[in-house]
Amino acid sequence: MHIPLFSQPHPASDYETAVSRYHALHNRHTPEPLNPLSRDILLTHGGMVEKAIVLFHGLTSSPRQFAQLGELLHQHGFNVLIPRVPFHGHADTMTTALSQLKATQVAALANEAVDIAQGLGRRVFAMGLSMGGVMTGWVTQFRADVEATALISPVFGLHVVPATQTRLLTEATLRLPNRFMWWDPEMENRGPGAKHAYPRFPTHALAQVLRLGFAVQDGVRRGETAVRRILFITNPNDEAVSSPMIAQVRHRWAQQPGVVVQSYVFDKALALNHDLIEPEHPQQNVTAVYPILLDLIANLTR
């Protein structure tokens, strides 16, 4: 499957258009009923403001993952958009629908979210975790109308897979039948995690997210990076994502003329999980994480 190495922006021209397009996104067809708590989120001040931010959630999660952080950003004056990625947020958390996810759909959702945000703020920013970090990476490479981005633990590769083998394994995974893997093999769907999130992931969906990451990396090699200020936020305790592949992307962006790349690494002593955003995660520490993120965003968007 070819993933376009470019975007086709169609930005909202004003606040009213942005809200109308948000409602169209919010009400789009889904193959199964949604969890009411897992739908797209839009927090506004009733009109266009100086700063708007798009927050992209992780694989098998939903906009609710970022809801509390989004509320805090809203209190700080942002208009906030948290879109739901296709096949996420279903009421049946054991759904098999997520196995249908394609990289092109994820890219299209990121593109539409940025289009909407153009009518919400005079300055637009984006941030995402894991899969959402890859989506933010796609925005970084291809959307020049975004001022700055923050990628939190983007899944450009997996911790357990050597960087040199990632593409080969990804394509092999897509040629094999899909499998569902438990996030917690011992507890399966009986764990104490967030009830809006799925307890398992399809191997094909994860492979599609990795393919979107490859499109970002290929785009860096072929052309100029669109966003000029980029922040990487990583966690030394993260056993999900590939640190070498994150470093590789960060290095390539830093080599681009005029691009400023900054990094923040959480203190290892915090013992954070990969999902450091979700307040319903049993190992959450949002009382430590959120103030740090708010300071980082304030510095990035000043």
Could you tell me if residue 133 is inside a domain? yes
Sequence-distant (6+) residues with CB within 8 A of 134 are 106, 128, 154, 155, 156, 209, 212, 213, 216
Q: Which residue has the higher pLDDT, 259 or 222?
A: 259
Identify the domain containing residue 269 by its residue range: 15-301
Counted domains in the chain: 1
Could you tell me if residue 252 is inside a domain? yes
The pTM of the full predicted model, rounded to 2 decimals, is 0.96
Could you tell me if residue 279 is inside a domain? yes
Could you tell me if residue 7 is inside a domain? no
* CB-CB neighbours of 190 under 10 Å: 9
Could you tell me if residue 3 is inside a domain? no
Could you tell me if residue 8 is inside a domain? no
Report the C-alpha gap between 136 and 142 in whole angstroms.
10
The torsion angles phi and psi of 63, rounded to 5 degrees, stand at -55, -25
Q: Out of 2-16, 32-46, 98-112, which region has the weakest mean confidence (pLDDT)?
A: 2-16
Report the C-alpha gap between 223 and 238 in whole angstroms.
30
Could you tell me if residue 10 is inside a domain? no
How would DSSP label each residue in 182-232?
ESSTTTGGGSSS-TTS-SEEEHHHHHHHHHHHHHHHHHHHHS--S-SEEEE
Q: Do 246 and 234 touch, CB atoms closer than 8 A?
A: yes
pLDDT digits (tens, 9 = 90+) for 142-196: 999 999 999 999 999 999 899 889 999 999 999 999 999 999 888 787 776 788 9
Report the C-alpha gap between 136 and 154 in whole angstroms.
8
**Rg, Å, the chain Cα set:** 18
pLDDT digits (tens, 9 = 90+) for 78-126: 999 999 999 999 999 999 999 999 999 999 999 999 999 999 999 999 9
Could you tell me if residue 4 is inside a domain? no
Q: What is the CATH number of the domain that holds 46?
A: 3.40.50.1820
Report the C-alpha gap between 128 and 230 in whole angstroms.
12
